[in-house]
A and B are shown apart, each in its own frame.
Chain A
Amino acid sequence: DTGVSQDPRHKITKRGQNVTFRCDPISEHNRLYWYRQTLGQGPEFLTYFQNEAQLEKSRLLSDRFSAERPKGSFSTLEIQRTEQGDSAMYLCASSLKVVGETPEAFFGQGTRLTVV
């Protein structure tokens, strides 16, 4: 399968612990996005990269959150000092951006985080 891959699929952590999620995009895609989805809501934008550059961050992304995309390939999303409000599904998506077009995004199955 050459789709977007996320790891782990599920994570249970204690409040105050740090967690890190990984996303492997579709190989030729230059854009990578992170979204967060809570129950009953649509996905909310967190941040995105074009190649290795982080181009935009949502105000939802507090200082406890950091994302990287070294070498423009896979990406990691780290949450430090987790809080119960961080419990959500974290979605990664990728797209191929070409000039003059709005790309469609392909989503992974997400990482479900539960903070206890």
Chain B
Amino acid sequence: AQSVTQLDSHVSVSEGTPVLLRCNYSSSYSPSLFWYVQHPNKGLQLLLKYTSAATLVKGINGFEAEFKKSETSFHLTKPSAHMSDAAEYFCVVSESEYSTLTFGKGTMLLVSP
């Protein structure tokens, strides 16, 4: 069975400092992995997607994530946080093209001036 663990429920950073949101996954197959962002009163938006091509995936708004099979991790990073990055972030796994998406519990990113 597929599952995702987001290691931090909240992460606080200052504007201009790096962001690291941690995600570990469990899957019986070679999974696809996603990061979604949810701003208040907005729908879930796809940030980036890994599907067994390059292990370093670049997404929108300067975010990127690295797939590490040996560590079963898919951490999300950004070199410099912006106030507009404050939102909830979800790591998502799908272990095959026939599987649905399984979400983590989310990490709330707080950005202070």
A residues engaging B (CB < 8 A)? 3-4, 33, 35, 40-45, 48, 56, 91, 93, 97, 99-110
Contacts and interface: CB of A to CB of B under 8 A. Distances in A.
Contact of A107 (B32, B43, B97): B43
Given A45-B100, A101-B97, A102-B32, 7 more contacts: A33-B100, A35-B103, A97-B97, A104-B34, A108-B43, A109-B41, A110-B43
B94 interface: yes
A115 to B, nearest CB: 21
Query: Which of B34, B41, B101 has the most chain A CB within a 10 Å cutoff?
Result: B101
A33 B99 CA distance: 12
A105 B28 CA distance: 22
Interface in B14-48: 32, 34, 36, 41-46
B100 to A, nearest CB: 5
A102 B42 CA distance: 24
Given A43-B44, A44-B103, A104 B49 contact: yes
- Dominant secondary structure at the A interface: loop
Contact of B97 (A3, A93, A100, A108): A100
A4 B90 contact: no
Interface residues of B, number: 23
A107 B100 contact: no
Contact of B51 (A48, A102, A108): A102
B105 to A, nearest CB: 5
Given A41-B106, A42-B106, A56 B100 contact: yes
Contacts of A107: 36, 43-45
Contacts of B32: 102
A42 B34 CA distance: 13
Contacts of A97: 97
